[in-house]
Amino acid sequence: MIDFALLDQLPRVFMSLVLVLLAALISRWQQVDLEKQMLVAVARAFVQLTLIGYALNIIFAADNPLAILLILSVMTAIASYTSGQRGKGTPQAMRVAGLSITFGAALTLGLLVGLGVFDFTAQQIIPIAGMVIGNSMNVCSLVMRRMREEVNGRRLEIETALALGATGRQAARPYLKMALQSGMMPIVDSTKTVGLIQLPGAMTGMILAGASPMEAVQLQMIVMYMLIGAAALTGLAAAWLSYRQFLTPDHQLVEL
């Protein structure tokens, strides 16, 4: 049976819209022309989150492993498509994104379940998977974009190295490193400053829900550590797969 508890929270939700209206007024006043996009984004978020809330109610109640795997597959597919679109300019961008995100997210979630950090239940896996897959998508997009920029900007250096007998991997190694650093730096910086500059979402949500601060801190530690792991795995796969798309089997740069 569908839970209509959201209706009880609507007054609070609508009151928080005051902040969006304020932002829209400032945009209008300063002629930034973002007010329409903000209002559309808010409306889409309301509809999407409401629908996913009801859908998750049903999925949590059923707690079927096949349903969980189906949801994870859909999430991964959407993330791969989005990252592939952002990575345009990289040959086979969609394929690179799909393989990288699937590898990073599947291995991260598999280890978390295998080590007993989380149980394979809908209520635990789906929210955690959302964070892992979303983070993996962002890392993959950053790595692919940086790799494309480095190859295009350093084409002469790479061709020179190849002409002198370097393999494709040897010629691309410095740029692999730069691309991987670019993808991982945001989550590394966020982990360094967590608790000092911001209280992250998972921790804040638990505290607002009534959990003790120490319980919230422990969960946030797990979240940050798993996101770093997912970033490293996804970033490494994306960098390795991306550079290979720019090279032929004969170790020559692909003509774009």
Rounded distance, CA 38 to CA 53, Å?
22
How many alpha carbons lie under 13 Å from residue 24 in its C-beta half-sphere?
Answer: 13
Res. 6 pLDDT band, cuts 50 70 90? low
Neighbours of 203 (CB within 10 A): 23
Res. 7 pLDDT band, cuts 50 70 90? low
Confirm if 158 and 172 have CB atoms less than 8 A apart: yes
pLDDT digits (tens, 9 = 90+) for 157-187: 877 888 888 877 787 788 888 888 888 888 8
Identify which of 18, 9, 148, 11 has the alpha carbon closest to the alpha carbon of residue 86: 148
pLDDT digits (tens, 9 = 90+) for 183-226: 888 888 888 887 766 667 777 778 887 888 888 888 888 888 99
Confirm if 28 and 35 have CB atoms less than 8 A apart: yes
Confirm if 79 and 133 have CB atoms less than 8 A apart: yes
Identify which of 208, 211, 229 has the alpha carbon closest to the alpha carbon of residue 219: 211
pLDDT for position 115: 93
> If you average pLDDT over residues 140-158, what whole number do you get?
86
Res. 3 pLDDT band, cuts 50 70 90? low
Choice between 134 and 256, residue whose per-residue pLDDT is larger: 134
Res. 132 pLDDT band, cuts 50 70 90? very high
Residue type, 50: T
Its pTM surpasses 0.75: yes
Provide the token pair at 209: 């829900």
> If you average pLDDT over residues 17-35, what whole number do you get?
87
DSSP 8-state class, residue 177 = H
Provide the token pair at 175: 């740029």
Identify which of 90, 71, 191, 190 has the alpha carbon closest to the alpha carbon of residue 140: 90
Rounded distance, CA 111 to CA 52, Å?
26
The pLDDT > 70 percentage for the chain reads 93
The domain spans of the chain are 1-62, 65-245
Rounded distance, CA 245 to CA 91, Å?
6
pLDDT for position 141: 94
> If you average pLDDT over residues 115-129, what whole number do you get?
92
